[in-house]
């Protein structure tokens, strides 16, 4: 049976319990990780995530449209964010004249240095607030659940 907007199948108690715990904890976790990076380094989590994605690419570059998909941002919001990060010297925009699909973002040396300096804070937070709370079974369950979501939403990663 397909759920439609006209005939919703509301969540039952067990489904609601799982969904609410997940959605609220996920938001609190992001907020906490963001606060730790802001307080210790003056860096937003969203900016940290852009630096990570770019640093993993050959040449430290990624097409803006692809980067928007990777960090789940709208193109206009990402464009604003990359503008701020460019002013801070962490990335630069590169236009490729021979490519109609447009503009790339590229991590700078200062951006890579910023990432190296802040990564220990981020990984300590990820451990303290999630990873170190998981049993081995939880860890596998978490990977399998969200790899299924990635497959379903059509993301190429993993």
Q: Which of 22, 42, 96, 101 binds a copy of itself (CB under 8 A)?
A: 22
Does residue 10 bind a copy of itself (CB under 8 A)?
Answer: yes
Q: Rounded to the nearest whole angstrom, what is the least distance from the CB of residue 95 to a copy of itself in the complex?
A: 26
Site for a copy of itself in 126-145 (CB under 8 A): 126-134, 136-145
State in angstroms the smallest separation of the CB of 113 from a copy of itself.
16
15 is a contact residue toward a copy of itself (CB under 8 A): yes
Q: Across the strands, what pairs with 95?
A: 103
Does 56 bind a copy of itself (CB under 8 A)? Our answer is no
Q: Does 113 bind a copy of itself (CB under 8 A)?
A: no
Beta bridge partner(s), residue 92: 106
Give 59-64 contacts, CB < 8 A, sequence gap 24+: 59/106, 60/106, 60/107, 60/111, 60/112, 61/94, 61/104, 61/105, 61/106, 61/107, 62/104, 62/105, 63/101, 63/102, 63/103, 63/104, 64/93, 64/102, 64/103, 64/104, 64/105
The dihedral region occupied by 42, where left means phi > 0, alpha psi between -120 and 50, and beta the remainder, is: left
Q: How far is the CB of 34 from a copy of itself (least distance, A)?
A: 9
Q: Could you list the residues that contact a copy of itself (CB under 8 A)?
A: 3-11, 14-15, 17-22, 24-32, 40, 70-73, 119-121, 123-124, 126-134, 136-150, 152-153, 155, 157-158
């Amino acid at each position: 049976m397909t759920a439609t907007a006209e005939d919703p199948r509301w969540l039952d108690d067990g489904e609601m319990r799982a969904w609410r715990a997940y959605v609220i904890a996920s938001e609190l976790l992001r907020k906490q990780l963001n606060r730790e990076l802001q307080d210790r380094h003056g860096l937003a989590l969203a900016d940290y995530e852009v630096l990570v994605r770019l640093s993993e690419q050959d040449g430290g570059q990624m097409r803006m449209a692809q980067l928007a998909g990777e960090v789940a941002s709208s193109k206009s919001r990402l464009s604003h964010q990359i503008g701020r990060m460019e002013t801070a010297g962490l990335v630069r925009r590169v236009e490729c004249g021979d490519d109609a699909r447009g503009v790339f973002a590229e991590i700078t040396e200062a951006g890579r240095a910023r990432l190296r300096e802040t990564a220990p804070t981020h990984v300590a937070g990820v451990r303290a607030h999630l990873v170190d709370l998981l049993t081995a079974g939880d860890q596998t369950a978490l990977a399998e659940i969200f790899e299924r979501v990635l497959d379903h939403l059509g993301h190429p990663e993993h």
